[in-house]
Homo-oligomer: A and B are copies of this chain.
Amino acid sequence: MDPTQFETHPSRYRHWRLTFGGDTATLVMAVDGDHPHRPGYELKLNSYDLSVDLELADAVQRLRFEHPQVKVLVITAELDRVFCSGANIYMLGLSSHSFKVNFCKFTNETRLYLEDASANSGLASLCACKGTTAGGGYELALACDETMLVDDGNSAVSFPETPLLAVLPGTGGLTRLVDKRKVRRDRADVFCTTAEGIKGKRAKDWGLVDHIVSRSKWDETVTQRAKTLAARQTVVRGPAVELPALAPKLTDKAITYRYVELAFDPTARTAALLVKGPETPPPADPAALTSAELWSLHAFRELDDALLRLRFDLPDIGVVTVRTSGDPKLVVAHDEALAKATTGFAREVRLLQRRVLKRFDNTARSFYAVADQADSCFAGSLLELALGADRFYMLIDKAGKIGVATSAANHGFMTTSSGLSRLEARFYGEPARAGKLLARGSEGPILSEEAEQLGVATIAADDIDFEDELRIAIEERASLSPDALTGMEQSLRFVGPETLETKIFGRLSAWQNWIFTRANSTGEHGALTLYGQPERPQFQWKRT
């Protein structure tokens, strides 16, 4: 299989047009039906697939870094009477279970990033739906701050997935309906089983959309609502920094970036992720901190890309060791410089690190962090990788070089999906232990043995036992059922409070995973399989 190209650029967009006017950016969805992500289906009626969503994700990311003047993003389309008809059904029908689930996960992350940009980066969003807004199209609208629906007696918002396809709206729609928009649950029930959707005044009365607007007043209202949303923004981004291409080197054994390498062994079904620390201290002049070459930005962008390639292109890899190399002091120095910097750019970099770390938490592979080399540097933002991993193995070395270090990055900013920091989640119910670890960390590096005592290392062992113990742990993990491990890790990783995010990834996605495997949707006579064909689906009626 050809590797997936996750990087793109507005100059290469096939499916969206990004334009600017003052503090407003407009993304026009204009899906090129002839250029799907994979051959075999046509992207009709502004339906989308992974390629379309990769461009959307790219646009939102670039707006944050490259266009700090933009305070509101208007998402719209210019097809006659159609805003977006959702994820392409034929694409879903042709996809493997693993691809379907990872596609849904990525589109969920993209929509959460839209919400994150609004909540934290002064970038609001307005979904201007001048036509039919179905399925994933409406889920995109739900992720925006405001949704406008044209009131033309015809255009509706809808979730036809359950009645037409025997699956769920898979991109957070159910959760956003009742938890975010607070649509009454019995009305949500009616809405989600009404294939043709709900339009006009009822859509507004039920809270499904914020505004219904006639065709004649459409453009004027879009401008006015965008202006209102822009005026509300108080967070300032910038200075602008262009995001260069990462352009990793790909071979059949590894994906190699400047700071990140993902080497894989398909036979053993294992991979080795290595993240290198910065080579130099951060610039002393805070103004010079504004650069796309900054380690904190570049390395985490690389890590993000590597995680996506792991998810989509290396589905058979079950266990990933995570190592770091470099000078822990330099990692800490970069973290501290960012935390102290007052620019919007610095905040954006930290927010990006936070999103990448959440992507790591949400990647359905077993991660074993390993500190077994003298130049290991699980410090600050890189320590978060060890805390997010399922286990953390540390070698007790005679030279006393291997340890961990804390920085400003461990003090609460890098929240997980649950809203807890990784230290808070690790010591759930015992917040004093997180405080103790941070206090100890402020005094200097914590060597392996002490790290185990303080609860950071899962296992610390000396060189007599270490190598065998780790090797056996990896082999054992790689031998277990990937399905059971996914469910187990999902249950253990997200301890504590639940949020919209954890509900989407933990509850909604779990039900969708199940439903995708059921004959009623994807079997020979299932509704998803038969979509668009004259044959009616045949259901097995047993309820579970």
Contacts and interface: CB of A to CB of B under 8 A. Distances in A.
Given A184-B455, A541-B318, A543-B316, A192 B488 contact: yes
A491 B175 contact: yes
Nearest to A516: B514
B482 A520 contact: yes
Given A316-B542, A544-B364, A518 B483 contact: yes
A234 interface: no
A523 B161 CA distance: 28
Interface string A495-523: 11110001100111011111101101100
A193 interface: yes
Interface string A161-175: 111011110000011
Interface in A413-470: 425-430, 455, 458-459
Contact of A517 (B318, B364, B484, B517): B517
A46 B484 CA distance: 25
A520 B102 contact: no
A269 interface: yes
Interface stretch (A70-78, A93-101, A212-220, A329-337): A93-101
Nearest to A487: B511
A207 B304 CA distance: 35
Nearest to A101: B544
A527 interface: yes
Contacts of A541: 269, 315-316, 318, 482
Contacts of A389: 186
A481 interface: yes
Contact of A193 (B430, B477, B543): B477
Interface string A146-167: 0000000000000001110111
A316 B544 CA distance: 9
Interface in A368-425: 389-392, 425
Nearest to A428: B182
B390 A189 contact: yes
Given A427-B184, A458-B186, A484-B520, A492 B174 contact: yes
Contacts of A517: 514, 517-518
Contacts of A292: none
A182 to B, nearest CB: 4
B190 A543 contact: no
Nearest to A519: B483
A35 interface: no
A267 to B, nearest CB: 11
A497 to B, nearest CB: 7
Nearest to A485: B162
Interface residues on A, range: 35 or more
Contacts of A476: 163, 193
B269 A315 contact: no
A204 to B, nearest CB: 16
A449 B29 CA distance: 43
A44 interface: no
Count of this chain's copies in the oligomeric assembly: 2
A182 B162 CA distance: 37
A124 B491 CA distance: 27
A512 B497 contact: no
A317 interface: yes
Given A178-B495, A458-B190, A506-B507, A484 B542 contact: no
A232 interface: no
Contacts of A521: 481, 483-484
B520 A192 contact: no
Interface in A1-16: none
A317 B543 contact: yes
Contacts of A317: 543
Contact of A482 (B167, B168, B492, B539): B539
A506 to B, nearest CB: 4
B318 A543 contact: yes
Contact of A190 (B166, B364, B391, B527): B391
A227 interface: no
A332 B512 CA distance: 41
Nearest to A418: B498
Chain B CB within 10 Å — which of A184, A428, A487 has the most?
A487
A348 to B, nearest CB: 30
Closest 3 CB pairs of A and B: A487-B511, A166-B481, A510-B510
21 contacts: A96-B542, A97-B542, A168-B491, A174-B491, A178-B491, A185-B426, A186-B391, A189-B390, A315-B541, A315-B544, A317-B543, A365-B543, A482-B539, A482-B541, A486-B511, A490-B507, A490-B511, A498-B502, A503-B506, A513-B544, A517-B518
Given A186-B389, A487-B515, A510-B514, 18 more contacts: A97-B542, A161-B484, A162-B485, A163-B480, A166-B483, A168-B484, A168-B491, A185-B390, A186-B426, A190-B459, A364-B544, A481-B518, A482-B541, A482-B544, A483-B544, A486-B511, A487-B508, A487-B511
